[in-house]
C-alpha cells in the first residue's frame, strides 16, 4: 500500500533536514523568517513524528527553507526519477569526458607533429641560406640527409593515414 502524502512528508522532511545538517530548531527559525510569524521547533518535532498534521503554508515554507521543490517532500517517485536522471547525466558526462580526452590527445599529437615539422623546415631554410645558388649548380642532398628526409616524409604520411583510418571507424 502506498504511504499517505502526510507520512511521506514527515519522512522526507526529516531526511532533507538531516541531509542539510540542520536542527529542527534551525528549520523552525528559517520557516519563521519566511512566514513572518513564530514557528516553534516542537512543531517540527511533532510533524516529523506524525503526531501533528502539517498545514499547507507550513509545507510550502518548509520546502522553501530546505531549498527543495515541495514535490520532493510529498513524493517518493520524484526522488527516484530525480536519481535516475542524475545517473543518466553522470553516464553522459563520463562519455563526454572520454571523448574530450581522446580529442585532447589528438590535438596534442597534431601540435607535436606541427612543431617537429616546423623545426625541420627552419633547419632546411637555414641550410638553404648557406648555399650560394650561383656556385652550387644542381644542389643534391648528401645520401644520409636524403635518407633521413625520405624516412620522415614516410613517417608523417603513415601517421596521417592511420589517423584517417582511425577517424573512419
Q: Quickly list H helices, 49-75.
A: 56-66, 70-74
Output the CA angle 66-75-15, nearest 5 degrees.
40
**pLDDT value of position 80:** 63
**pLDDT value of position 41:** 92
Cell numbers 604520411: residue: 157
Residues 6-23, mean pLDDT to the nearest whole number: 91
Output the CA angle 27-33-34, nearest 5 degrees.
90
Residues 34-41, mean pLDDT to the nearest whole number: 91
Q: How many residues comprise the chain?
A: 169
Q: How far apart are CA 11 and CA 79, in angstroms?
A: 13
For the entire predicted model, the pTM comes to 0.47
Spatial neighbors of 10 by CB under 8 A, at least 6 apart, are 47, 48, 49, 50, 54
Q: How far apart are CA 39 and CA 155, in angstroms?
A: 77
Whether the pLDDT of residue 51 is over 60: the answer is yes
Q: How far apart are CA 157 and CA 169, in angstroms?
A: 19
Q: How far apart are CA 100 and CA 11, in angstroms?
A: 42
Q: How far apart are CA 15 and CA 74, in angstroms?
A: 12
Q: Which of 6-15, 112-121, 144-153 has the lowest mean pLDDT?
A: 144-153
Amino acid at each position: 500500500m502506498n504511504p499517505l502524502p502526510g507520512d511521506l512528508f514527515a519522512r522526507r522532511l526529516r531526511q532533507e533536514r538531516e541531509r542539510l545538517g540542520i536542527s529542527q530548531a534551525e528549520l523552525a527559525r528559517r520557516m519563521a523568517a519566511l512566514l513572518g510569524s513564530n514557528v516553534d521547533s516542537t512543531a517540527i518535532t511533532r510533524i516529523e513524528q506524525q503526531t501533528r498534521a502539517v498545514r499547507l503554508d507550513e509545507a510550502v515554507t518548509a520546502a522553501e527553507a530546505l531549498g527543495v521543490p515541495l514535490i520532493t517532500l510529498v513524493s517518493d517517485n520524484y526522488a527516484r526519477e530525480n536519481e535516475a536522471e542524475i545517473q543518466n547525466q553522470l553516464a553522459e558526462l563520463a562519455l563526454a569526458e572520454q571523448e574530450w580526452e581522446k580529442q585532447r590527445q589528438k590535438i596534442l599529437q597534431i601540435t607535436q607533429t606541427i612543431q617537429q615539422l616546423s623545426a625541420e623546415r627552419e633547419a632546411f631554410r637555414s641550410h638553404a641560406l648557406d648555399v650560394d645558388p650561383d656556385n652550387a649548380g644542381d644542389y643534391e642532398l648528401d645520401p644520409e640527409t636524403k635518407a633521413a628526409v625520405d624516412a620522415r616524409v614516410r613517417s608523417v604520411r603513415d601517421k596521417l593515414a592511420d589517423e584517417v583510418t582511425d577517424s573512419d571507424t
